[in-house]
Amino acid sequence: MTVLPRVLAALGVLALGLGGALVVASPAAAATFTVTKNADDGLVGSLTYALANLVPGGNTITITAVGTITIPGVIPDITEDVDIVGPAGGVTIETTDTIDHVTIDGATVSMTDIDIRPNLGGIDEGIEITDSNVTLTRVSVQGFDYGITATDSSLMATGVSLTQNVTIGLYFADAVGTNPLSLTNVTLGGTAGAHTDTGAVLFGSGAMMSLSNVNSVFTDTAGLAIGSDVGDVSLDTVTVEDSPIGINFAASGGSTTTVNHLTINRTQSGLYVNVLDDANLTVSDMNIASTDGDGVDLTAVNGSRATITASSVTGSSGSGFILDASDSTIELTNSTSSGNGLGGGCGCGGGSGVELYADNSVVTLDGVTSSGNTAAFGGGIEAASVTNGSTVTVTRSTITGNHATDDGGGIDVDSVADDGTVVTISDSTISSNDSVDFGGGVYLHDIGGGTTNTARVVIQRTTFDGNNGGGYGGALAIDGISPETSGLPKVLIDSSTLSNNTTPYGGGGIHVRNPTGLTAPVVKLLNSTISGNDAQVGGGFDASGSPLAIVISHSTIADNSAHTSGGVAADPNTLQLDNSILSGAFSNNGNTPDDLDVGGALIATFSLVQAPRPGVPISAVGGNILGVDPKLAPLANNGGSTMTRLVAPGSPAYNAGDPAFTGVGLFDQRGQARVFERLDMGAVEWHPALAHTGTELTPRPLLIAFLLLFSGVAMVAFSRLRTVRAVA
């Protein structure tokens, strides 16, 4: 054979091969069906005929029949790709099959404007989906045991109603990362007379789940239950009402969960969530009301992070928020807990406003309002256990109008232990709280865990006003503190004001008692004001039990009252007093001036004590001033974040502090420079520009107008002068 015939023959073989390949790869023609029959007979024009004759490669079923399509037997399984489109007003499909209604297996299916219901009761599943990709639009599935079950599949549902299904509205499980779940404008649950057990149960393995505009109502177990092995989850505008548990959720494995616009009403428990194993949770704009239990119960462990912001819990019978962190971080910001209290829920003695636990963790409450709550311990906030180097911070918060049937009307801090553990309360207002026993405002208990360590409590720039302790400590009670090994105070009250607090026992402002160990723990009052408080003993400050070391430094304690020891009572403890003012206190029903009563050692320097009790070991040496009125201004806003009482030129405390104190880099209670000219005694340093208004002097409007007018006239005159000279 010559070359040319060989080439032609080869091309012919190639052409045959290509032709064969084209024939093999050619897809089957898509099939189109129209359903016109309401009474399904299995023949052309019926739904069962269309489903039984689907072909590979894609199909379309258009339903023109309206009303109800009744299928007397089994609906054929859907195993081929198909789009099923109902009429504009929707169509109802009923069957007498008692096992499953619609089964989708290994196919890509879309359904639009379909209402699926059982003709008989007791049917297992409305739609069963396996190994498929399904899109549902304006579909209703109701009256089954399970509305929809989907395993190893993806599901995109928009405008779907899954109601009045007995056990679960939607069960979604065993999905993988490539098979997501998306629910938009979906209704789950039951009715007031026919509850669903659970609105939706969602599990997956790395699958993305997105829920938007989802409502779940009238369930007997949970509105939503989301499993621990899911991937990233987004909940946006979700409402759960009338359910025992609003949302029961667990996230793990480094996943990220975002929750926005969540509403939960009339449930036994609002949001119950576990954040595990490096997972992240962010919740914003959540509102929970009227739960017969806890509003939020959040646990974060093993390197997880959870943030709740701009959210509220009101009217729950248990705690508003329970925050439990282990090796993790939890933040609650710009949120409100109000009107929660002991009832059918918690009733266990926890804080009904916010109850928190921290183990080697960071827990922060920033911009939180806790008001009108009731609990056994910590009506506003209960820090039940803070250990193992944890940091707990309450800052820029308002704790008001709370009640404790035991200790800590506003805040109860208990069991602060281990090296490096610190609880800080800063830039906050604690007012109008009350307790039956210790600490109308705040109760600090077991600080240090009974051992020698560096666990501490710091209170900064905070106002205690109008609190009442039924036992000891109208504003603040400190009970059971251990020695501090770092040399720092075990409890530091810095740049704070305690005013108008009361107790029928000891310490209208502060009460300290029951230290542990052989070394005296230090409680220090620094740059602070205690004014207008009342008690049986120690109207301003009462310290009992030994050994204790009380330090009052750069502070003002004035106009307090008590039956005994109207100002400061420290018996039999050691008191160190420096650069401070004690004045205006009365005991014996206001008949006896009584600013200082010390039964132990007293070290006093550069302090003014207007009326020390007879026998107190203090004298007018070391810069001390005795027996004179410091001429303090009333409690007022003099700048800074707390109310203060000013000294002024003419006061014996003015420029009478320690002359060796330079105060470089240090500040008074208002945050102003600690020294102007020479150090003043007391909590605030007199500055001319801040003496009355608390702000720097600024030009008045008339002065500004005059200066502007003058400058304008001067400019015009100067301009004319230049013009005249130019002409000349």
- 57-90 pLDDT per residue, tens: 999 999 999 999 999 888 999 999 999 999 999 9
pLDDT at 725 over 60: no
pLDDT at 692 exceeding the cut of 60 = no
**Phi-psi region at 535: left, alpha or beta (left = phi > 0; alpha = psi -120 to 50):** beta
* Confidence band of 18 (pLDDT split at 50, 70, 90): very low
Q: Say if residue 1's pLDDT is above 60.
A: no
Q: Please tell me which residue, 316 or 449, carries the higher pLDDT value.
A: 316
| Domain boundary pick from 202, 226, 251 | 251
Does residue 392 fall inside a structural domain? yes
Contact between 532 and 556 (Cβ < 8 Å): no
Indicate whether 589 belongs to any domain. Answer: yes
Domain finish residue from 599, 629, 659:
629
CATH number at residue 79: 2.160.20.10
Mean pLDDT of 9-31: 43
CA quadruple 47, 50, 51, 57: dihedral sign = negative
* pLDDT tens, residue by residue, 624-673: 999 999 999 999 999 999 999 999 899 999 999 999 998 777 999 999 99
Q: How far is the C-alpha of 150 from the C-alpha of 128, rounded, in Å? A: 6
597 and 481, same domain (yes or no): yes
Same domain, 245 and 372: no
For residue 637, being part of any structural domain is answered with no
Segment 364-384 shows an average pLDDT of: 97
Which residue type is seen at 683? A
Confidence category of residue 720, pLDDT binned at 50, 70, 90: very low
Can you give the pLDDT at residue 121? 62
Distances (CA, A) of 499 to 343, 524, 563, 684: 32, 18, 18, 16
Q: In terms of domains, do 210 and 97 share one?
A: yes
Which is nearest to 584 in space by CA: 559, 621, 554, 620? Answer: 559
Residue 346, pLDDT score: 43
- At residue 547, the pLDDT reads 85
Given a cut of 70, is residue 524 above it in pLDDT? Answer: yes
In a domain, 698, yes or no: no
Q: Are residues 362 and 244 in the same domain?
A: no
324: in domain: no
pLDDT at 514: 84
Query: What residues contact 16, with CB distance under 8 A and at least 6 apart?
Result: none
- Total domains present in the chain: 2
- Residues 100-149 pLDDT 10s: 689 999 999 999 999 999 876 667 889 999 999 999 999 999 989 999 99
Parent domain of 177: 66-251
Give percent above pLDDT 90 in the chain.
Answer: 73
Q: Is residue 701 part of a domain?
A: no
Sign of the alpha-carbon dihedral angle for 612, 617, 618, 620: positive
Closest listed residue to residue 224, CA positions, set 207, 244, 205, 252? 244
Strands (E), 367-462: 369-371, 374-377, 381-387, 391-395, 398-400, 403-407, 411-416, 422-426, 429-431, 434-435, 442-447, 456-460
Which position has the higher pLDDT, 533 or 101? 533
Residue 120 lies in a domain: yes
Q: What pLDDT is recorded for position 602?
A: 96
Report the 10 Å Cβ neighbour count for 660: 8
Q: Write down the pLDDT at residue 318.
A: 92
- 227 shares its domain with 363: no
Last residue of a domain, one of 201, 233, 251: 251
Instruction: Establish if 584 belongs to a structural domain.
Output: yes
Q: How confident is the model at residue 707 (pLDDT cuts 50, 70, 90)?
A: very low
Average pLDDT along the chain: 88
Count CA within 13 A, CB hemisphere, residue 679. Answer: 26
Assign 487 a pLDDT band (cuts: 50, 70, 90). Answer: confident
Over residues 252-310, the pLDDT tens digits come to 888 999 999 999 998 888 999 999 999 999 999 999 998 888 999 999 999 999 999 99
Same domain, 245 and 360: no
Check pLDDT > 50 for residue 713.
no
How far apart are the C-alpha atoms of 464 and 201, rounded to whole Å?
47
In the beta sheet, which residues pair with residue 370? 337, 399
Mean pLDDT for the stretch of residues 6-28: 37
485 plus 369 within the same structural domain? yes
Whether 246 and 365 share a structural domain: no
28 has a pLDDT exceeding 60: no
